[in-house]
Amino acid sequence: MSTSRDEVTVTLAYGGAIHATLPAAALGPAVTPEHLGEPIALGREITWALNDSEHAVHPHDPRQNGVHGTVRFDELGDAENEVYQRNVAVFADGEVDRSPCGSGTCARLAVLADDGRLSAGSVVRHESIIGSTFTGTVLDRVHVAGRPAVVPRVTGMAHRTGDQVCSIDPHDPLVPGSVLR
């Protein structure tokens, strides 16, 4: 695809959401906090360019259509049964995930398995732009809707960052709400 910087090849993969993945070296600097502006701008551009394309269509659930975000990654080395990558996951309108992104990690697992770099039982150590880490494992290779897929497992650490309390006004004429789909 064409970007404002150059031509680039991205891989679209589904891992709970559709992500465009590409090596950071394809367009710009390494994945580091000092260079955060470039992946945000590029992530927005790629998402907008591919979001409504025929490539961003889920095979059987149209609610999943569209590009959720981009995952730019640096290769940090392979070892026996392990791939080590650092990434920056850009989603929505330029938000950056502080984690390596669970659905993005699942998408990377699918791509790496399809490329022959991960087999069942192999892992990817996925480090975020700020150093938090997820470990993804290919539990099995399967086919879904006629396409190659993986059964992934992602482990890592999570912390509650907030609470939300919903209340209902007893005078609200739309209680319990409205559902349009």
pLDDT digits (tens, 9 = 90+) for 100-149: 999 999 999 999 999 999 988 889 999 999 999 999 999 999 999 888 99
pLDDT score recorded for residue 120: 87
Amino acid at 142: V
Q: Please tell me whether residue 37 adopts helix, strand or coil conformation.
A: helix
CA distance 138 to 154: 9
As a whole number, mean pLDDT of residues 12-22 equals 95
- Please give the angle made by the CA atoms of 67, 56 and 70, to the nearest 5 degrees: 30
Going by pLDDT thresholds of 50, 70 and 90, the confidence category of residue 166 is confident
As a whole number, mean pLDDT of residues 77-87 equals 91
Q: Which CATH class is domain 11-155?
A: alpha beta
pLDDT score recorded for residue 129: 94
- Could you tell me the CA-to-CA distances from 115 to 98, 119, 156 in Å, in that order? 27, 10, 24
Beta-ladder partners of 85: 75, 126
- The string of DSSP letters for 105-132 reads HHHHHHHHHHTTS--TT-EEEEE-TTS-
Evaluate if residue 41 carries a pLDDT over 70: yes
Do residues 103 and 19 make contact, with C-beta atoms less than 8 angstroms apart?
yes
Going by pLDDT thresholds of 50, 70 and 90, the confidence category of residue 160 is confident
Q: Identify the helix (H) or strand (E) that includes residue 50.
A: helix 37-50
Length in residues, the chain: 181
